[in-house]
């Protein structure tokens, strides 16, 4: 249970980081 919630949290953090990076690239272009 703990490892799955931890893994989910990591996945969410990575998704947010990727989204923010994509938004920044879009603004620069």
SS3 label, residue 29? coil
- Res 1: pLDDT: 54
**pLDDT tens by residue, 2-29:** 668 899 999 999 999 999 999 998 988 7
What's the CA gap between 3 and 28, in Å, rounded?
A: 37
What's the CA gap between 8 and 2, in Å, rounded?
A: 10
Compute the residue count for the chain: 29
Distance of CA 29 to the CA centre of its chain: 21
0.85 exceeded by the pTM? no
- Res 10: pLDDT: 95
């Amino acid at each position: 249970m703990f490892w799955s919630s931890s893994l989910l949290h990591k996945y969410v953090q990575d998704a947010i980081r990727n989204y923010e990076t994509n938004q920044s690239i879009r603004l620069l272009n």
